[in-house]
Amino acid sequence: MTLRLDTQGWLSDIMHCPSPNYNDRPVSAAVNLLVIHNISVPPGCFDGPGIIDLFQNTLNYTLPQYQHLDGLKVSAHFVIRRDGLIIQCVSTYNRAWHAGISCFDGISNCNDYSIGIELEGADTVAFTDEQYQSLLTLTRVLQIVYPLITMDRITGHEQIAPDRKTDPGPCFDWLRFKESLVS
């Protein structure tokens, strides 16, 4: 897979499912943080359309399992499915709505200066080899395009919003991921 960023902030050679849930980054914001999440919609169910439907505001909110999500406007730059498929939902030039109330290294509003990657999964489910491989490939490309995303500026949602979030969770193998990045 040869990923390249085009002039609009979209990576080539991956699926695009644009979300309307984004806005401009502040002019002074330099992308310097990568935030890893996990998500499944509905919870614990994989391989369905729920994540993309949520990010595109097209979930059937009349269904009981989705009623609590009605009116929620969220997105991430990328989603990595269980089989390793990478989907881009927001241009890297824009501010995706993935971090919420957050702080990293004393600076709040992480959405302003971060890229968010959602791994299809849950806190209690191991991630797949294919997901780790795609995450590794994507991260390396992002680090070339955004060199301020150094090893110490790759974090989980749980670290930037510790009172609210638990993802990517205890089943995410940080050691495996970070050792792969340096090898």
CA angle 118, 148, 162 (to 5 degrees): 45
pLDDT value at residue 34: 98
Distance separating the N- and C-terminal Cα atoms of the chain: 18
118 has catalytic annotation: yes
Per-residue pLDDT for the chain (183 aa), expressed as one digit of tens each?
Answer: 678 889 999 999 999 999 999 999 999 999 999 999 999 999 999 999 999 999 999 999 999 989 999 999 999 999 999 999 999 999 999 999 999 999 999 999 999 999 999 999 999 999 999 999 999 999 999 999 999 999 999 999 999 999 999 999 999 999 999 999 998
- Choose, from 118, 130, 158, 179, the residue flagged as catalytic: 118
User: What does the pLDDT read at residue 11?
Assistant: 96
How much is the pLDDT for 1? Answer: 63
Give exposure, 87-118, as e/b (b: 16+ Cβ within 10 Å): bbbbbbebbbbbbeebebeeeebbbbbbbbbb
Whether the CB-CB separation of 30 and 152 falls below 8 Å is answered with no
Domains in the chain, please, with CATH?
15-182 (3.40.80.10)
What kind and span of H or E run contains 144? helix 129-145
Strands 86-88 and 78-80: antiparallel
